[in-house]
Structure formats: C-alpha cells, structure tokens
Amino acid sequence: MSEPSATPQQAPDSRSTAMIVTLGLIATLSGLLIVLVYEWTKPRIEHNRQVMIERAIFDVVPGATQRRDYVIEEDGRRVRIYLGFDDQGELRGIAAEGAALGYQDVIRLLYGYNPACECITGVRVLQLSETPGLGDKIITDQRFQQNFDALDVSLNATGQALANPITVVRQGGKEQPWQIDGISGATISVEAVGRALRESSEWLLPRLHPRLDEIKTLNAEDAEIAEGNE
C-alpha cells in the first residue's frame, strides 16, 4: 500500500512575508485615512478657533466693540494680535495669544492688554485638556480670574523688558500686582498660565510699544472689523 502524499506546508518565510505585507497595507491605509480626516476637518477646526477668539476678544478687552487684526514680524517670528476699538474708534486694548504645556497638554489662552495701565485686563482659555475638577479651575475659579483684572506688565525704564516678570505664588501669597495668586491642587495648570503670559508679554510688549502711535490711528474706518455682538 502506498503512503499518503504529504500536504505541502507553506514555508515560514512566506508566511512572515505575507504578514508583513498585510500589516504594511493596513498601516498605509490607516495613515491615509488620518490625513484625509485631518484635511477634511482642518477648515472647520480653524473656523471654530477663529469664532472662539473673536468672542474672547471682547471679554478680555473691556469696552471694545470692534476689532482689527495686526501682525508684528520681528526676529524671524510672526505674531498676530487683535486691536479692540470702541464705537468712537478709540483703542481700548489689545488681545494676544499665549500657550504653555500644562499637566496633560498645551494650554492655549487669549489675554487682553491695556497700554494705558500697562496691565493685563483679562484671560480666556481657548484650549484645555486638564483634569476636571483640578486643572480646569483656571477657568471656573472666580478668585483666580481676579488675578487678571489688572495684572501689572509694565516695562522697565529702557522699554526693552518687563520691569517685573510675571510670577506665580502659592494661594493667598499674592503681595505684588505682577504676581498670580495660585490655586491649591492645580499648581501645574496655574504655572502654565503664568508661563504663557510671561513668555508672550516679554516678547510682545517691548515690540508693541514703539508701534502704539500707529496702532491708535487704525480705527474702524480703515480696518477689517468684527462686531462684538456677532
């Protein structure tokens, strides 16, 4: 009696090659889908971001009802700021963005600046991924928000730097107008807010002040205006 013929076995190398090809195709398709989704949602994300910024401008610049975009380019850096005007075309303040790494992700914010008092007049968080009930207190804690009613960011005698860099102190330890009174249990998030404001204002304000006379003339008649009630 003849022996039954053995079933050919696929070589191990062939199985490995097939698996690698399959995984490669899956990875390629996944990457393609991610790119397509990103490109598809990018315009909507940017639109939503602009809407959020426009609403926040009139929160952080008291008295402003109209706005104009303005760009400062220097030292290889390009920074967009937002000029807030009242109904009479008078400059009421300037809004700018800042960002710093928090506990889980980057915290992005918009802050208002009043050249008359050389102070920050409000802060609104644009992006936050911090722990609910802890890090998000930088939004919900009214006492913390009061830090930004008139946070001192005046320049030194030369106009080249802040006279007193913004610093964060422990809760209840604020003694100077350039200090941010912290929140117990949200230290990292508070430090991120302080760092975002300090880094942005240290670069922006020395470059902004020499342009103030020009900026004040950019009223509603020759500006790209966004009404505050839109």
Instruction: Tell me the pLDDT tens digit for each residue of 38-61.
Output: 566 656 655 556 666 878 899 999
Give me 225's structure tokens: 């205006």
Q: Among residues 48, 201, 203, 213, which one has the least CA distance to residue 121?
A: 201
The structure's pTM equals 0.74
pLDDT at 185: 83
Separation between Cα atoms, residue 150 and residue 173, nearest integer Å:
17
Separation between Cα atoms, residue 215 and residue 116, nearest integer Å:
13
What is the number of other CB atoms lying within 10 angstroms of the CB of residue 190? 27
Task: Name the average pLDDT for the chain.
Answer: 84
Q: Where are the strands (E) in the chain, listed by range?
A: 66-74, 77-85, 91-101, 106-114, 119-127, 151-152, 167-169, 179-181
Separation between Cα atoms, residue 198 and residue 191, nearest integer Å:
10
Range in 1-10, 38-47, 128-137 the model is least confident about? 1-10
Phi, psi of 139 (to 5 degrees): -100, -45
